[in-house]
Amino acid sequence: MQSVESPDTLDSAALIMPLVFFINPSDPRFLSTMREILKVPAKGGLTVNDLVYRYNHSVSDDGVGGKEGSFTMCSFWLVEALTRAGQYDKPLLAKASVLFERLISHANHLTLYSEEINSSGELLGNFPQAFTHISMISAAFNLDRTLQSCD
């Protein structure tokens, strides 16, 4: 949920919870949240073309206005959350690997990422974005380590 006042509003910031050891990545509550995030917004989720939006702007007013893109950092958090859950459920690990490959294709010609990406793949927001790069490095490191331990 996004807040106590908005218990029905999904927020992809929840994806960081297993990354900071707040919840076990195989906890049914977290897995349920992750499955909801993976759905398209029309079905209550936050994912479009394998890119994760922070929250659904049509149901949550952030007061900023304007159209937002997906948050690249949240997309990499999804990869890492899937990776960690994939240690217990191999299909989730496979999904993490595929999603990671798709995400890295959104880098520019210098292999840099922006804060946001719109549904057509255009880079938006702060550029380059350090938080995005840190989340990409963390996702890559943990995905590689987990895939190697499965060999």
The pTM score is 0.91
Q: Is residue 4 part of a domain?
A: no
In this predicted structure, which of 2-6, 13-17, 77-81 has the lowest mean pLDDT? Answer: 2-6
Alpha-carbon separation of residue 127 from 82, 94, 115 (angstroms): 26, 30, 6
Q: Is residue 2 part of a domain?
A: no
| pLDDT at residue 8 tops 80 | no
Quote the mean pLDDT of the chain: 88
Q: Is residue 110 part of a domain?
A: yes
Task: Mark out the alpha helices in the chain (DSSP H runs).
Answer: 28-38, 72-86, 90-104, 130-150
Among positive and negative, which fits the CA dihedral 89, 104, 102, 54?
positive
Q: What is the domain range of residue 132?
A: 12-150
Q: Is residue 114 part of a domain?
A: yes
Q: Is residue 62 part of a domain?
A: yes
